[in-house]
Copies of this chain bind each other. A is one copy, B any other.
Amino acid sequence: MKLAIDAMGGDNGVSVTVPAAISVLKNNSRIKQILLVGNERLINPLLDDARCSASDIRSRIRVIPAAETVEMTDNPIDVLRQRSDTSMFAALKAVADGQADVCISGGNTGALVGLARHLYGFQTGVRRMAICAQLPTLKKNSYLLDVGANVDCSGELLHQFARMGCALSEALDGNKDCRVKALSIGTEAGKGNAAVNKAVALCEADKNINYDGLVEGGKLLAGESDVIFCDGFVGNIALKSCEGTAQYIRQLASNIFPRSDTDENSDTDENSEMDENVAQLLTEIDPARYNGACLLGLGRLVIKSHGGSQQADFMAAIEKGVRAIDGQLLDKMAATLNR
């Protein structure tokens, strides 16, 4: 398999994307090639990494030059109209041209969605694309869609999101009996808004969906369902509310727990243990561990990484792309949509 990476995307650009790509290549010999798309003068020096020269890794990397970068603050409409010389466009184009199987980018979401839709089009039967995020649950993998591609959705569209989410769960986790819930404000039947209530009726009548009722925001992370659907306005706010709360608690924890590395006198065994526990907690509650949202409904595979990703997080996004290829996501989507 071959992957195309928008090396300039995200807040940290090549300093995150290039080392992440090298690490993933090192871990996974089944990846034949990674295309690193972006500014050669910034990418090449990072390929002098010891890990590259001492192995076959360098030969599995191809740098594709692209002069421009889509900035996080660029207006997606301007990007779509005027800018075909960007790393984001070129990385997506490499997949359109069959040079790679998936595109991974941490760049401007609106621009990525617009360009991908323009270059790839929808799969047959798709009304609108959706962005599907993985939730950091205590139990099994759980996916939430849409998290931002569509602000106002009909019940019919939400019903299609339910189907698309099932295809993703099957592709990534081999889950053939996907439990689907609708995000709402109560668990009793009828506790949705107009669109949700309509979608629930459609899901209940759909023999290909294992519809499992409504779920409230407080149970998003409970891992009680494989797929949770909602419109992109609600999903985006719910996901970011979870992430923001985790971030807030990380900050609180950092304030409360003394760091022994700044306090030499207290470097006892007990404090080391405390630090380890705090570090473990901070890691566990870092939403970036589940990084890599799938753009669903398009003719090609695209993974959106968090803009603020660090190396390990971007690796998670790349690996999600690998799983999407392995799980034949596009075929699963086509089969699900045409049932």
A residues adjacent to B (C-beta < 8 A): 138, 148, 151-152, 183-185, 192-194, 216-222, 230, 232-234, 236-249, 251-253, 256-258, 268, 270-271, 274, 277, 280-281, 284-285
Quick check: B192 and A218 within 8 Å, CB to CB? no
CA distance A76 to B216 in the complex (A): 18
* Chain A contact residues, majority secondary structure: helix
In the complex formed, the residue of B with least CB distance to A185 is B236
| Protomer copies | 2
- A185 lies within 8 A of B241 (CB): no
| Cβ–Cβ contact A217 & B241, under 8 A | yes
Q: Which residues from B are CB-within-8-Å of A240?
A: 216-218
Decide: B248 and A138 in contact? CB cutoff 8 A: yes
Q: Which residue of B lies closest to A153 (CB)?
A: B193
Contact partners of A193 in chain B: CB under 8 A:
151-152, 233
**A-B pairs with beta carbons under 8 Å apart, 16 shown:** A138-B251, A151-B192, A152-B194, A216-B237, A217-B237, A217-B243, A218-B241, A222-B248, A233-B234, A238-B241, A242-B242, A246-B249, A252-B281, A257-B281, A274-B274, A274-B277
Q: Are B248 and A236 in contact (CB under 8 A)?
A: no
Q: Which of A194, A245, A271 has the most CB of B within 10 A?
A: A245
Complex interface: chain B residues within 8 A of A270 (CB): 268, 270-271, 274
- Residue ID in chain B nearest A257 by CB atoms: B277
Contact A218:B243 (CB < 8 A) given known A193-B152, A281-B256: yes
